[in-house]
């Protein structure tokens, strides 16, 4: 009697721990049940993927979906629409909302808002503040929590833990890997007069490379002192890569497609305040230093730092213009174009955007193409050439910094727990997002 599956993906090129293989995948009860030759099996749904590549579901470990409190910029529903249209099956969302995600009620509220309303699966960071250090050990273990986020330098929102004593208290309290926005607040305050009115080119002058380097050096010292795992977000300097390469026992590293793709001063010439983010886009020498870190295995994951603002907000005169740009929908196309250009292999793409989140954060059943894991797949066409446009963006912000760029490599479909949620730029069926599970908190 033929084996039966709920879904069979046929003839695709799978990219997993075996490298690239042509094989079928059988899905049963939302999980991968079999990988191999399933030509004799029956499936409730059968999708022929000849000519396409099947990746583990891409996970974006840094997004800001702005809900609650700033829903005019984005909300959990529209942000997740961006995600699945871009081939992203799961996201880690940040705590600098209004109110901030700094207590159990705020976290539970986000999980409730997201369940069966977001189109992708999700987890939420809890924010560290001066007022909640004593409860962080409990907060980081709540359902739907991916860990603690700490802002060492002020950015969007009110969360800030600037001095070493405060940071030490956080690290001594928690047990999971914590994520850090690493810019030195004291240097940012001293250099604030260097942010020239109406001149966004001064953004990386005010928030200079030294502010990032000093902060990350402090963070390394504190991690070694407390023996705690630290994840440094959106690295923007070449020097930080060298520093972190020497401390791989406790430190893990994220960078963004923006810092790998854009460079100053050209990005500010062409995009103005649309290129403004924290930490800033810097010159080509720093960009090459970040690529050095990626090529040499120092970068563990890529995050989009999807941080949308409306065009009206971005058109304010610098420095009143807010920092941040949308990115979750363009994460996969931009990085697949780098694969096409030979800057990284498709296997390294999978390591950064699927295996990396699984490995660093201990995802219980996501991030690998393996039997028993959730049937999450990002199906891509490596030969498709498309122009990224503002019209394609599903974000409430209505724009992307990559508008007008033609890329080679495009997400064909997004499948989450065995259900097709996006196919050929169309979202399919009702939202069914669920909280992710983590091995440390099962």
Residues annotated catalytic, as ranges = 305
Pairing relationship of beta strands 53-56 and 4-16 according to DSSP bridges:
parallel
Ordered DSSP codes for 160-180: ---SHHHHHHHHHH--SPEEE
- CB count within 10 Å of CB 288 equals 13
- CB count within 10 Å of CB 404 equals 11
Which are the contacts of 424, defined by CB distance < 8 A and separation ≥ 6? 412, 413
Report the alpha-carbon distance of residue 147 to residue 126 in Å, rounded: 6
CB 76 within 8 A of CB 46: no
- Rounded to a whole number of angstroms, the CA Rg of the chain reads 21
The candidate with the shortest Cα–Cα distance to 392, out of 309, 340, 330, is: 330
Burial of 329 (0-12, 13-18, 19+ CB in 10 A): buried
Kind and range of the H or E run holding 344: none
Report the alpha-carbon distance of residue 210 to residue 416 in Å, rounded: 42
Residue whose pair of structure tokens reads 């109406």 in the numeric block? 198
Report the alpha-carbon distance of residue 167 to residue 386 in Å, rounded: 45
């Amino acid at each position: 009697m033929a084996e039966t599956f709920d879904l069979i993906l046929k003839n695709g090129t799978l990219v997993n721990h075996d490298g690239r293989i042509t094989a079928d995948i059988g899905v049963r009860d939302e999980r991968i049940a079999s990988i191999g030759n399933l030509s004799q099996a029956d499936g409730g749904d059968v999708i022929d993927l000849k000519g396409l590549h099947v990746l583990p579901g891409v996970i974006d470990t840094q997004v800001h979906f702005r809900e609650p409190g700033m829903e005019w910029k984005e909300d959990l529903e529209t942000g997740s629409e961006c995600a699945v249209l871009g081939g992203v099956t799961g996201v880690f969302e940040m705590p600098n909302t209004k109110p901030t995600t700094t207590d159990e009620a705020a976290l539970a509220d986000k999980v409730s808002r997201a369940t069966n309303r977001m189109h992708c699966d999700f987890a939420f960071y809890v924010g560290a503040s001066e007022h909640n250090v004593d409860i962080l050990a409990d907060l980081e273990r709540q359902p739907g929590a991916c860990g603690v986020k700490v802002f060492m330098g002020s950015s969007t929102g009110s969360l800030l833990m600037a001095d070493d004593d405060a940071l030490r208290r956080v690290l001594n309290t928690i047990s999971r890997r914590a994520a850090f926005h690493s810019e030195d607040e004291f240097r940012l305050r001293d250099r604030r007069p260097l942010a020239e009115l109406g001149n966004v080119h001064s953004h990386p002058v005010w928030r200079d490379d030294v502010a990032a380097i000093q902060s990350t050096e402090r963070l390394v010292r504190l991690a070694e002192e407390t023996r705690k795992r630290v994840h440094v977000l959106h690295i923007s300097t070449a020097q930080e890569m060298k520093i972190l390469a020497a401390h791989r026992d406790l430190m893990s590293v994220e960078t963004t497609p923006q810092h790998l793709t854009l460079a100053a001063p050209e990005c500010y010439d062409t995009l103005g305040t649309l290129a403004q983010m924290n930490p800033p886009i810097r010159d080509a020498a720093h960009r090459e230093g970040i690529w050095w870190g990626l090529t040499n295995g120092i970068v563990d994951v890529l995050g989009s730092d999807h941080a949308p603002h409306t065009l009206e907000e971005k058109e304010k005169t610098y420095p009143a213009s807010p920092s941040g740009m949308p990115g979750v929908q363009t994460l996969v196309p931009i990085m697949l174009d780098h694969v096409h250009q030979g800057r990284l292999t498709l296997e390294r793409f999978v390591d950064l955007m699927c295996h990396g989140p699984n490995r660093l954060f201990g995802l219980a059943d996501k991030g690998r193409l393996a039997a028993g894991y959730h049937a999450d797949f990002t199906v891509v066409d490596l030969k498709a050439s498309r122009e990224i446009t503002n019209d394609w963006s599903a974000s409430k912000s209505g724009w992307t910094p990559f508008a007008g760029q033609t890329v080679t490599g495009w997400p064909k479909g997004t499948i989450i727990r065995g259900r097709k949620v996006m196919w050929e730029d169309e979202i399919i069926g009702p939202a069914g997002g669920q909280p992710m599970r983590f091995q440390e908190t099962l």
